[in-house]
Amino acid sequence: MEVTAKVREIRVSPRKARLVIDAVRGKPLTEAMAILRFLPQKSAPVVLKLLKSAAANAEHNYDLDPSQMYIKRIYADDGPRYKRWQPRARGRVGRKWHRTTHITVVLDEMQKGA
């Protein structure tokens, strides 16, 4: 049975978040959590908290064992961009974009024979 968890509008660009989620895609849940504890990127603790939330959803809502779960799908999509400005020379303005990310994870049970 698939279990889903989402986090929205984290202040990390999707390109940088994808570096972290690519490291854990397809791995067992316990192994993925161990990997995320030691990654230095800003989005690693956010993804770790998201995986803990998905494990809690599996245990509480569906009576599944989180130790028997693996990451079936995980992806990072673009969120809204915050438009900011920075003063430039001769009274002009330079636009800055602060990008945000929506991350979704889908967990599934491991096959018994595998």
What CATH number is given to the structural domain containing 12? 3.90.470.10
- Position 114 pLDDT exceeds 60: no
Total count of domains within the chain:
1
Helix boundaries (H) for the chain: 14-24, 29-37, 44-62
Q: What is the pLDDT of residue 111?
A: 84
| Residues spanned by the domain of 64 | 3-109
pTM confidence score: 0.90
User: Is 92 part of a structural domain of the chain?
Assistant: yes
% of the chain beyond a pLDDT of 70: 98
Closest CA to 46 of 81, 71, 10, 18: 10
**Dist CA 85 CA 94 (whole Å):** 6
Angle between helices 44-62 and 14-24 (to 10 degrees): 60
